[in-house]
Structure 1
C-alpha cells in the first residue's frame, strides 16, 4: 500500500512540476484542479498522423487519455508508423496517457489484417469453441499486438449477454461471447488474463447490460426496461470479485428498473453509484461510452450531460469526435465547462478528487503487468499451491502410517496366546 501511495505521489508531483516548467512566461500555468480535470478527458484525433493541436493539449495536461480508430492507422508501414504516433503522444505527456482502442475482434476491429496486423475473430466465434484455447490464443494475439504498439487499454471484452439474437449492435455482430452469463464470465476472464500477461489493461462493457436492447445507442435512445434481466450483472460481479475488472465502460441504455427517472446508464447516479459502486463494490475507473453518440447528444445538452455523468460517478469521459452527425467537442470547451461547474458548486471538488485518485491508481499499474512479472506471480502461486499440497500429502501419509501401526499392534495383540488361569487347589 505504501509503495502504491509513494508511486502515486511521485507521478502527481512530477506532473505538476513538468506542467509548470513547460509553460512560457506569458502563458497561464494550470493549477491542480486543471490537472485533475484533464485526467478525466479522453479524446480522439483526426487522422493517421500526429495532430499538432492534440499534441499541444497532451503536453499541457489538458487530456489524460486518447483513443485510436481505424482512421488513425497509416495505410502503409502501419505498425511502425502507428507506433511512432503513439510514442510521440505518450512521451509528450507529463502524466502517462491511457492510450485506448476498441479491439474486440471481428466487426469491432481497428487493427485489421489488411494493415498487416493479426487476423481476429468475434467473441461469439471464440465462445463456440469447445475449449478455452480459442479465447486464450486470440486474446494473446490481440494483447501482444497492442503492447507492441504502446496501446495500454483495450475497451474490451464485451460482457453483454447475447440474450436478444436480433440485437442490432451486439448479437448481430457477434460481439457477445454467449447468452449464458456464466460462460460470458469464464471466457471474459481468460481474455483479460491474456491481456494482463502483456501489461494491457481492459475495460468491461457495456454496463449495466446492452445485450437485450432492440435499438442502437449510436443512433438514439435504447430502452431495455422490459427486456433487461438481473443476470446481466453476473459477469461484472464475478470479474469484480475475482480482481479482473480493471475498468468498466458505461452504456447509454435506459433501464427504468435501475433508474426510475429514465436517465441513460452513463448519466445515472442510481446505476453507476447505486448499482456498480455500492451493490457490486466496484472501486475502479469508470469510462463512458462515447459522449457524442446520439443517445446523449439528441436528448441532453453538453453541459447537462457532463454534469450528470460526473455527479453520477464517471471518472473518464470519451469525446471521440468520430460520430457522424455529432457536433465537435473541443478539449478547451469540455475543460472549461467542468471547471466552471466546480467553481459554482454544481460539481463538488471532492468528486473530481475521487476520480483523480482512481485514475492515478490505475495508471500506476501500467508498468506492473509485463510478461516476466506475470509469470513470476503465476510461478509463485504455483509454488505455494505445490507446497500446500505437499504438506497435505505429508499429513495424510503420517495419519495413514499411524493407522497402519495401530492395526499392526491390534493384530499382534490378537495373535498372542491367552494365558490359562491356574485352578486353585482344594
Structure 2
C-alpha cells in the first residue's frame, strides 16, 4: 500500500474511533458542511459536571458545531446526584470547558432561571437560590424588579451562563392553569404589565451579556393542561391578546429569541401543535408579527410531542415549521436519551432524501450567527 493511501486509511480509522461508525469517506468533504448546519440547530442536554476534551459532549460540540447546550441541576436518573451543576467553582470550570470545545467560542450555554419554582441554581449549591416568582415581582414594583434581576444576571454571568430561557410572557388568564398561573410564573393578566416587567428582566440580562427567550409562544396562560405530560388543546380558551407581549417586545427590539410552546390551537393550525406548525412559526410569528430572529422550540421530549410523533417526524416538522434551535434536554425521560450523533444523522438523512432543503438549514444558520455576534 502506498504511503499516502496508508495515511488516509489511518486518518479515517482515527475519526471512526473518535466518532463511531457514523462517518463515511464522503463525510470528510461536502457532508462535514451539512453536519455543521444540522448540529448548529441543536441545543442538547448531557450528563456530566465536567467536559474534558475526550468527553462525548465536547467531541460533539467540536465535531458538529452544536448550537448550544442546556444545563440542569438534578440528574433525572438519581435526584440525589447533580446532572451538570454541583457548586459555583465546578460550574465556572464546566462552562469554560464547554466554550473551549466550541470552534467559535460562542456556544450557547442555557439554563431555565426564572425565579420561583423554576430556578436551576440552588441555595444548597452555594447560589442565592431564592429569587421570587414573577407574580410576586410584579406586586413589589419596578425598582424591586430591577434589583432582583440585576442580581440574578450577575450570578448567571459569574458562572459562564450566557443564555437564560426566560422571561415568561404568558398572560395569567386561566386560574385553573397550574403550570403557569398556579406556579406564579406570569407577571399578570395585563399585556402592558407583562411586557413592562419582562422588559426589565431582559435589560438586566443584557447588561451582563446574557441572551433571553420570550416564552411560550403563542401563549400558554389560558391553557388547562400541561404539555410536559401530553396533548393540550387551547382552541376554546386562547385569546388574541396573548400575542400582545410578543408584539410589544419585538417592536422594542427586546426579543433575542422566542420559544414556541407545544400547545394545539385549531384556529392557528388544524393539524399540528405550535412548535411543529409552519402556520404558527413562519406565518404568524415571522409573518404577522414581523419577527426576524431566532426561534427555539420548547423541549421536544415533552409528552405533547414525544407521545404523538416519532423522532424523525418531530425533527422534520420542527425544522419545516421554521424553528432555528431544536431543544432536546435529555431530562424528562431517562429511557429516552438522544445523542447529538443520532439527531444530526437523522437530519442529514432527511436533507439527502429531499424531505428538508439544505437552504432551510442555511436560513437558521444565518439567524443563529447573527444572534451569537450579539453577546
Within 1, Cα distance between the matches of 2:100 and 2:49?
18
Q: Deviations over 1:38-71 (max 9, x none)?
A: 1101111114333721111112135220001112
Is the Cα contact below 8 Å between 1:297 and 1:326 reproduced in 2? no
TM-score by length of 2: 0.88
Within 1, Cα distance between the matches of 2:181 and 2:303?
20
Deviation of 1:73 after TM superposition, in Å, equals 4.8
Within 2, Cα distance between the matches of 1:279 and 1:357?
21
Q: Deviations over 1:197-240 (max 9, x none)?
A: 11101000001000011101010011110000000000000000
Partner of 2:282: 273
Is the Cα contact below 8 Å between 1:269 and 1:311 reproduced in 2? yes
The aligned runs of 1:165-184 (5 Å cut-off) are 165-184=175-194
Partner of 2:135: 124
* 1:86 and 2:95 matched: yes
Within 1, Cα distance between the matches of 2:85 and 2:169?
30
Q: How many residues are treated as equivalent by the alignment?
A: 340
- Residue number among 253, 257, 267 corresponding to 1:243 in the alignment: 253
Within 1, Cα distance between the matches of 2:166 and 2:89?
24
Deviation of 1:326 after TM superposition, in Å, equals 5.5
Partner of 1:63: 66
Within 2, Cα distance between the matches of 1:158 and 1:39?
25
Q: Which stretch has the larger CA shift, 44-53 or 190-199?
A: 44-53
Partner of 1:133: 143
Matched position secondary structure for 1:260: coil
Partner of 2:328: 319
- Residue number among 306, 310, 326 corresponding to 2:319 in the alignment: 310
Within 2, Cα distance between the matches of 1:326 and 1:253?
24
TM-score by length of 1: 0.77
Within 1, Cα distance between the matches of 2:223 and 2:46?
30
* 1:152 and 2:153 matched: no
Question: Which protein shows a greater Rg?
Answer: 1
Structure 1 residue ranges (4+ consecutive) displaced by more than 4 angstroms after TM superposition: none
Deviation of 1:289 after TM superposition, in Å, equals 0.6
Unmatched 5+ stretches in structure 1: 1-22, 367-426
Is the Cα contact below 8 Å between 1:215 and 1:222 reproduced in 2? yes
Deviation of 1:33 after TM superposition, in Å, equals 1.6
Within 2, Cα distance between the matches of 1:177 and 1:74?
28
Is the Cα contact below 8 Å between 1:102 and 1:109 reproduced in 2? yes
Partner of 2:23: none
Within 2, Cα distance between the matches of 1:326 and 1:191?
36
Matched position secondary structure for 1:192: helix
* 1:48 and 2:57 matched: no
Within 2, Cα distance between the matches of 1:138 and 1:154?
15
Is the Cα contact below 8 Å between 1:105 and 1:123 reproduced in 2? yes
Partner of 1:294: 303
* 1:217 and 2:227 matched: yes
Is the Cα contact below 8 Å between 1:213 and 1:224 reproduced in 2? yes
Deviation of 1:141 after TM superposition, in Å, equals 1.0
Matched position secondary structure for 2:298: strand
Partner of 2:39: 38
Is the Cα contact below 8 Å between 2:172 and 2:188 reproduced in 1? yes
Partner of 1:406: none
Partner of 2:206: 196
Within 1, Cα distance between the matches of 2:335 and 2:319?
21
Q: Which stretch has the larger CA shift, 336-345 or 225-234?
A: 336-345
Q: Deviations over 1:276-316 (max 9, x none)?
A: 00000011001111010010010001111111110000001
Matched position secondary structure for 2:46: coil
Within 2, Cα distance between the matches of 1:148 and 1:241?
30
Within 2, Cα distance between the matches of 1:180 and 1:120?
22
Is the Cα contact below 8 Å between 1:103 and 1:109 reproduced in 2? yes
Partner of 1:408: none
* 1:105 and 2:106 matched: no
Unmatched 5+ stretches in structure 2: 1-9, 16-26, 75-82
Deviation of 1:194 after TM superposition, in Å, equals 0.4
Deviation of 1:172 after TM superposition, in Å, equals 1.0
Is the Cα contact below 8 Å between 1:163 and 1:179 reproduced in 2? yes
* 1:256 and 2:259 matched: no
